[in-house]
A and B are shown apart, each in its own frame.
Chain A
Amino acid sequence: MAAKICWFCGLCLILGQGIGFADDLPKFSDAERNHWAFQPVKRPGIPAIGPTAGSQPQNEVDAFILATLQKDRLGLSTPADKLTLLRRVTFDLVGLPPTPTEAAEFLADDSPDAYPRLVERLLASPHYGEAWGRMWLDLVRFAETAGFNADPARPLAYKYRDYVIRAFNRGVPYDRFLQEQLAGDELFPDDAEALTATGYCRMWADESNASNIHLARQLALNDLTGNLGAVVLGLSIGCAQCHDHKFDPLLQTDFYQLQAFFSGIVLEDKVPVGTHDQLAIYQKQRQEWLDQTAAIRHELHAIEREARIKMAGDRRMKFPQDVLTAIDCLPEERTTMQRQLAFWSERQMEYKNDDLPKHLSEEGKARRNDLLKQLADARENQPKPPREASLMAVAELSVDPPVTRLLDSGSYDKPLQELAPHYPVILRRAATLQPPTFTAPNSRSSGRRSELARWLTSSDHPLTYRVWVNRIWQGHFGRGLVDNANDFGLLTPPPTHPELLDWLTAEFIASGFQTKHLHRLIVLSATYQQRGDAKTDDRQAVESSVAMNPPPVTSLASFPRQRLSSERIRDSWLMSAGTLNDTMFGPGVRPELPPNFAGAANWKVSEPVDRTRRSVYIYAKRNLPYPLMAAFDFPDMHDSCGCRTRTTIAPQALMLLNSGLILNAARQLADRAKQEAGSADPDAQLTQAWKTTFGRQPNERELVAARKFMADQQQVIAGSDTKRTGEDAGRIKPSDADEAFVDLCHALLNANEFLFID
């Protein structure tokens, strides 16, 4: 009868009474049962629309948008000009600005399919995965370190990032993408990509010197469960960790039943790759070898254990007996739970294996050497897996994972009744009322995660695909049809265009879960191709429109302007400077830190060639997000980020004005513009600088202003150079024009036109 409260989720005040049992279906209210997001996706008809001024509809997306606009006697704005559209769609699909050559080609191409062909080219670009994969990395709180005080490296984590980028580029269907990440080892054991994908299951932040191992294990599972709920289901199920959800029909039992699908995972950094049959043979041979060598290994382990216990000394004091037993157990004989406990504890023993003999008697040393030799000989016959890969992966050890229990108030040390893996009650249907049964894919895995993946990706799931479609929409327009991309619960306002969301979802499912199909539908729509907010050459029109009450951004009566993300800002500078190194993949790189930056000791700067890699490859250190990126709202890598915040503060401007990185980019841009202008004519150089940064020619007003700035700035430079004395004082030198041009380029890199997409 004790009511439960949560101190994690931030939502609840006082919660209902008692804990519902798994088979004691609670009485959800009608409002909860009928909540739109829990209803099956139904493909709606295409609404009829009347004649419209402005952009004419191009596809079904426009029919839905126009149908709503027309209720308010509105229409789409006129089509965007080609250059604006080129810049918009290029940034959008590949995260980079168009090159001047690309711009020239597109502008010169008058064929009716010029735009669709552009879209196809961009979708086929390897940079597409870098742009859109980043969104997934935000969601799964990707990092290459573990976080907390020590923030130790996870040296293989980058392979997961590379997997995500490749998966987007290869067009892996979304259902398969999820299946790989949740259960790649069970479903596709012969596909190294799918095994890499399982890194998702261990992306949680982790305290390297956790003193409470059972708590650490529970926190990791909680984090994974909460993340899965937010990312795939779009539900804040993490809030049901200590109590039933305060606002959504999610029970505390739902949280732990969802968690139970993962209770058997162990972390592996080296995994065998092969079909289930191949692996079954390998495991059988391996077991035989282990049996043959059991006597040697056991005796060796017994000798070494004594030495290790001495080496660990006081460090063992803080752990309870079951943890110590797990540590002291032969690694290949640990149970699943022991593997899990040993993961968090063994590393804290700080064994130095080289020191091991120091802690042995002479007799012990001799015997150990003898056994090591015997084992080395036996390894000659040790069976090998078909293939092996070094990855940050998960696996299971048994068909029978550790039990999951409901935890009183979410406390790891207050276990209540055992819970079987099951889906959240509100999402159960007639066919899934009973807890699922599992088919073990082999003798070492429960099949639980495969079952979960199958359920999540079944084509009639009401949430999985709606949530995904909404994320893609948000990626294109800056705002989702549902405002809170990670929470489709009752507190979030319903979709602005519910029928459009369902139509797109149905279309996505029918396409075989092809994300690129969604991109096409969206970017080929007139809604996407229309002008931005009253962008016009007519100043009078702007003045009068200000007085009007503009329609809300979500109605999409014009294309919403967006500031570039931190990655795009940095990549664009490098691109304008002509120094962007577009090498893909590999361990994170570390570009220069600001001078005197406090965290510099933990940041070994990469070789110059790697410092200009695309931002998605910057070392993702949880406790030291790259300052330039952090300043422009790169998300905290501890939590899932469903939509980045967008701050505008003066320190950003200081960074853009005074950072050596950007000044350097301005200098390189100036050199490049001069070279590419192919002429000493200042106007040609100005024009080239404009084209390289804004992708367009300067207009006459801008040219006049730029010429004036160049002239004034030379005066300023000459006048403020204290080294010029006597006759030279204030006199302009030829190099001053170069410097003025650098300043002009620097200004262009700071301009709103450069940082915002119309």
Chain B
Amino acid sequence: MGVDMRESDFLHRLTAPSRRDFLRHAGGGFGAIALAGMMAGEQPRAAAGEVAARRPHFFGKARSVIFLFMDGGPSHLDTFDPKPLVNEMAGKPLPKSIKRVITPMGVSENPLLASKRTWKNYGECGMPVSDWYAHVGECADDLCVIRSCTSDALNHVGGVCQMNTGSILAGRPSLGAWVNYGLGSENQNLPGFVVLMDSDREPPGGNRVWGSGFMPATHQGTKFLPGKRPILYLDTPEGISDQRQLSKLGFIDKLNREHLALRRQDTELEARIASYELAYRMQAQAPEAVDLASETQQTQDSYGMNDKRTQAFGQNCLLARRLVERGVRFVQLYSGSGSKWDAHSKIEENHSLHCGETDKPIAGLLKDLKQRGLLDETLVVWGGEFGRTPMSEKGDGRDHNPYGFTMWLAGGGVQGGQILGSTDEFGMHAVEGKTHIHSLHATILAALGVDHTELTYRLQGRSERATVNEGEVVSRAFG
């Protein structure tokens, strides 16, 4: 055995034939191969200079990412980016000085819709946060709010796709897959990239948005199911001992390796072999990892698990903490999966519900991470695929706004208590410190200590990057 599972550098350098050799000779069969090894090096890498994963302190010091995805597009104007002028001018159109944009529902000349929020300055930094996110506001000194994000997508499918993969068109690997590929897993017993949903519906685009695109299949996200049993069939059936199960797995592994030996390199076959190894290890550790009952009542309550409204998302937040605590690299949580944040009408009703579902759980997560000393090594990202317009739609809703919206980062070496960038005084356009999704991705990677220009994947002779050769790290985020 003797392979350091975290030596992904080494594994990334292996060329395919030698890796195959490595696989074959790596010993007495099942369980001997480091998962990171399985995940690495499917593509021959010519030079050490192209080695993907590094652990330098490029910027941040995060080991993991928790991405809180508000599916459908939360309103920045009613949460983290107050615009008093919108209220003052409510009922009138945007002044002519503001550049007209195209919105999906064509609301550019609609009257401005007042925000009914009350705002309070939180923390030592005095950051304004609305009453919809009062609990999160208490963590203001840990938040780095970027008010000037931009996306290219006006619709949900394209928006969710870009926020995940960098492109509005499906087919590229998701950021979680890039991280999984670049850094491997720190825990051999759990998937490196886990996706959690709070309902049965998937976000627009379905499982492609956590797919591995052109990369080998092992890097894709593993979806856990909503509810109390996120992974089906975790328990070995009654009457079958662990030794018996392991020995059977050993035989499956042997059959599969014999089968592979007679075939040309095939990432799907290899991924399947790896998936059995992971499955076995998950059986050993995942039940403990997903067992929320072992948390104290106080902890559960702090995530809002004792309240019907916050129960589903709170449970996922707590699960996310337990997963990153155990070395999972990238956990993505969807709130309102299936575009439920999409408040074209009745934004009061819609956002009261969804902010209400997420406020306490998110605050609970941030405080819990901090208290356990995990916040420094966990980057928490909040946001949706875009924000919403200051103009009204259908009288009481807001349309999509990819021209300027808010995302925030916390932990992972990010300097809290600061607000970066700004939108115009109506919250329509990002005006200062524009941060395209590519830059956001570059910053997330930077927090993980990865230089986005050096994390590459060879595809048909070309070096592909997670940031599609664009984007700049928002270095001010790191203080």
Which A residues are closer than 8 A to B by beta carbons?
2-15, 242, 408-409, 411, 491, 532-537, 539, 542-543, 545-547, 550, 561, 563, 594, 596-599, 623-624, 627, 631, 633, 636, 645-655, 657-660, 663, 701-702, 705, 709, 712-713, 716-717, 719-721, 743-744, 746-748, 750-753, 755-756, 758
Tally of B interface residues using CB under 8 Å: 79
A594 contacts B244, C-beta separation under 8 Å: no
List 13 interface pairs A-B (beta carbons < 8 Å), by A numbering. A10-B158, A532-B263, A533-B264, A539-B262, A594-B232, A597-B232, A598-B225, A648-B275, A651-B222, A655-B232, A752-B255, A752-B260, A752-B269
Tell whether B93 is near chain A: CB-to-CB under 8 Å.
Answer: no
| Cα–Cα, bound, A8→B207 (Å) | 18
Of all chain A residues, the one with the shortest Cβ separation from B217 is A648
- Chain A proximity of B203: nearest CB distance (Å): 12
Contact A650 B263 (CB under 8 A): no
Please tell me if the beta carbons of A648 and B105 are within 8 angstroms of each other in the complex: no
A706: nearest residue on chain B (CB-CB)?
A: B251
- A537→B241 CA distance, assembly (Å): 36
* Besides the known contacts A10-B161, A750-B252, 18 further A-B residue pairs in the complex with CB atoms under 8 A apart: A7-B155, A11-B158, A11-B168, A409-B104, A563-B268, A646-B217, A648-B275, A650-B191, A651-B222, A651-B231, A651-B232, A652-B275, A653-B272, A658-B235, A659-B233, A713-B251, A716-B243, A747-B255
Residue of B nearest to A594 (CB): B232
Q: Indicate whether A657 sits within 8 Å of B279 (C-beta atoms), given known contacts A6-B104, A7-B105, A750-B252.
A: yes
Contacts of B254 in A (CB 8 A): 705, 709
Contact in complex: B154, A7 (CB < 8 Å): yes
What chain B residues lie within 8 Å of A543 (beta carbons)? 17, 20
- Give the CA-CA distance A537 to B169 in the complex, in Å: 42
* The one of B207, B225, B282 that contacts A647, using a Cβ cutoff of 8 Å: B207
Name the one of A14, A658, A748, A758 contacting B233, with C-beta atoms under 8 angstroms: A658
Write the chain A residue with the least CB distance to B216: A648
B contact residues vs A (CB 8 Å cutoff): 16-17, 20, 102-106, 152-158, 161, 168-170, 191, 200, 202, 204-208, 211, 217-218, 220, 222-223, 225-229, 231-237, 241-245, 247-249, 251-252, 254-256, 258-266, 268-269, 271-273, 275-276, 278-279, 282-283, 400
| Closest beta carbon of chain A to B427's beta carbon, Å | 19
Q: What is the bound-complex CA distance between A409 and B265, given in angstroms?
A: 49
Quick check: B283 and A9 within 8 Å, CB to CB?
Answer: no
CB-based contact A6/B154 at 8 Å? yes
**The residue from A13, A547, A598 contacting B227, defined by CB atoms under 8 A apart:** A598
- The 5 A-B residue pairs with the shortest CB-CB distance, nearest first, are A10-B157, A7-B104, A653-B279, A720-B241, A7-B155
| Chain A residues within an 8 Å CB radius of B218 | 648
What residues of chain B lie closer than 8 Å to A646, measured between beta carbons? 217, 268
Task: Please give, as numbers and ranges, the residues of chain B lying within 8 Å of A13 by CB-CB distance.
Answer: 152-154, 168
Residues of B within 8 A of A14 (CB): 102
Q: Is the CB of B105 within 8 A of A411?
A: yes
Decide: A702 and B258 in contact? CB cutoff 8 A: yes
Decide: A5 and B241 in contact? CB cutoff 8 A.
no
Measured between C-beta atoms, what is the minimum distance from A243 to chain B in Å?
Answer: 9
The answer to whether B259 and A753 touch across the interface, beta carbons within 8 angstroms, is yes
Q: Is the CB of B275 within 8 A of A653?
A: yes
Min Cβ gap B184→A in Å is 15
CA–CA, A657 to B152, complex, Å? 44
Q: Which of A10, A15, A712 has the most CB of B within 10 A?
A: A10
Give A536's nearest chain B residue, CB to CB.
B262
Contact A547 B263 (CB under 8 A): no
CA distance A743 to B243 in the complex (A): 12
Tell me the bound Cα distance from A289 to B254 in angstroms.
Answer: 77
- The one of B16, B153, B266, B273 in contact with A533, judged by C-beta atoms closer than 8 angstroms, is B266
Assess the A654–B233 pair: CB atoms within 8 A.
yes
Question: Chain A contacts of B262 at CB under 8 A?
Answer: 535-537, 539, 542
Which residue of chain B has its CB nearest to the CB of A212? Answer: B345
In the assembled complex, the CB of A650 is this many whole angstroms from the nearest CB of chain B, namely 4
Q: Which residues of B contact A750 (CB under 8 A)?
A: 252, 276
- Name the residue on B nearest A533 (C-beta): B264
Chain A residues, CB < 8 A from B153: 10, 13
